[in-house]
Every structure is written in structure tokens, then in C-alpha cells.
Structure 1
């Protein structure tokens, strides 16, 4: 998997991170990035900022690693007060601006919501979300009682070719090699 991004209700945008708080007095902001690598968010010069139901465009002047996180300077944000007004905003990018991936790579937002079935055709539920671990990414599959299996969560490793046998975005189905009792 390439860059990760969290999905949200908007079908046209993907959330790349969040502006958390001001950094200094010249308008810089701390950023919590959902991308992997963390500083991948700095590859995009233009962001959409979402505060409540409001969307505004922001231009990245510069950004860099700072300690264990990131800090950025946005065009027109040149005081601590201006930065405080943006603290808490989600950083969005139109999905159309995401780089093309290879045929066997997917963004997390593409996998979330897929129906997960075993190679035998037994429905396990839907991908709720994914998270990183040291070894591999993990999918949280939420069972749905109306699909003939108990409504429970399962943690499945995202291992293409081993656990994940096929991803079909057109039909919205992911086929896995997984014991439903596990």
C-alpha cells in the first residue's frame, strides 16, 4: 500500500491529516498526518481545509519535520491568531489529485467498506478501517448479522497474496483466505 489516508463521508475528498495547534508566533501550525510516510502530506502544495461544514482552499508555503511531528506555513497565515483560527481543521485533498497506484496497490479509503468473503464464499462482514502495526497493516472487518455470520469484529492482516486473495473495487468485494472461526 502506498500513502494512507483516512476516509470520510465526502466521496470527492480524502482526509490526509489535521491541523492541531499553532507553532510559534509567525503563523506556523502543527500537523498530524495520516499519510505514510508522515511527511508525504507535504507533497501536496494545495489543500482543502474543513472546519465544520466549511471548506476553504489553502496553499502550502513550506513544511518540515519538527520533533516527532510536522509543522507547516500556509499562505496568508502569518500570525499566531490566524493559526489558532485554523487549529482543528481537517486537511483534505480531492481524490482526483491522488497519484495513480500500481494495479495491485490500493489507498486505504478504497478498501474501507468492501464486503469481505472467504474463498468458500462465506461473508465475514465489511472492512471498517485499517491500521498500521510494525509487521503489516491490519484490517478491522465488522461482521453483519444479516449476512449469515455473527456480528463481531475480526482483525485480518493485510497480506496480499497470502490472506488477501483478490480485491474487486467494481463489485466492492475482497476475497480472503481466512478461517471464519478465527
Structure 2
């Protein structure tokens, strides 16, 4: 089956077995038998999926892995999933909201902060991102709250 991977590099999705497959409220566990990159996608064979019709039944399913399957992030590096939900405040203590999502823009990643309004803040550690404390659940930013 063809899989679109958001890992970096994209073929790393193949080292995280088993996968949690989810569609709506249905969740299945799937072990990877084989796989390889093909163009911008990954071709994967799952255990028990042996023909085209069985593979087609997984169209529209999302692939997840357990956080415990990921290698530990290096100092100063974070998984996006660890940042989502953190409170964001300025160095002056103004509350801006919480991290709703992150976006890759090419120049630099940005955090999307939902508060009284949506803010898009460049994720540049040491410049706009001053401190990240996952345990305390907050990010300190050098950002004008009016912007």
C-alpha cells in the first residue's frame, strides 16, 4: 500500500512498527512486513494484507505511532507533538494562548497559537522562542502581544 509519511526522512516511518491505524473511531494495530520509498510516498506491506483489495480497504486511514517508539529528543530539540497544548506567554508575562499546531514554511517553522485570537509566531529558538519547558507546560516568547 502507498503511505504518505510526515517523518523526516520520510522512510523512517518504516522503522516504527507496529503502526496504529485509525479511521473514525476504529483503531487497528498493524505490523510492517516490508517497505521502501517510492517517489514522494512510501510503499509498505502490512502483516496479513496480501492482496490489492485488502490494501485498498485501508484508503483514508491515518497512521500513528506511540510516543514511546520515538528516540529521545536531543537537548534543545522537541517533537511537535510535545509542543502542542503548551501555554505561550511573552517575556513580560502576557498570556497569548496555547500552541494549537505547527507549520513548516520553508524559511523556518512557526507555531500557531490560539488565544483571544490566532497568532503565528516564528519558531526560532534564541530569538522569538526564548524558553521551552515541557514539564511546566509553557513556552516563553519574545513577541509583541499586539502583533
After TM superposition, the score normalised by the length of structure 2 is 0.92
Q: Report the 3-state secondary structure (helix = DSSP H, G, I; strand = E; otherwise coil) of the residue aligned with 1:86.
A: coil
1:167 matched residue in structure 2? 132
- RMSD (CA atoms): 1.3
Structure 2 contact 4–40 (Cα < 8 Å) conserved? no
Given candidates 68, 71, 77, the residue that maps to 1:96 is 68
Structure 1: how far apart are the matches of 2:105 and 2:10?
15
Give deviations 1:122-144, integer Å, cap 9, x for gaps: 0111111001111111111112x
Which residue of 1 is the match for residue 15 of structure 2?
43
TM-score, structure 1 normalization: 0.76
Matched, 1:132 2:97: no
- The answer as to 2:27 corresponding to 1:55 is yes
Give ranges in structure 1 of 5+ residues lacking alignment: 1-28, 144-150
Count of residues in Structure 1 that have an aligned counterpart in Structure 2: 147
Query: Per chain length, whose mean CA-contact separation is higher, i.e. which structure has more relative contact order (CA < 8 Å, sep 6+)?
Result: 1
Is contact 2:84–2:100 with CA below 8 Å preserved after alignment?
Answer: yes
1:166 aligned counterpart, secondary structure: strand
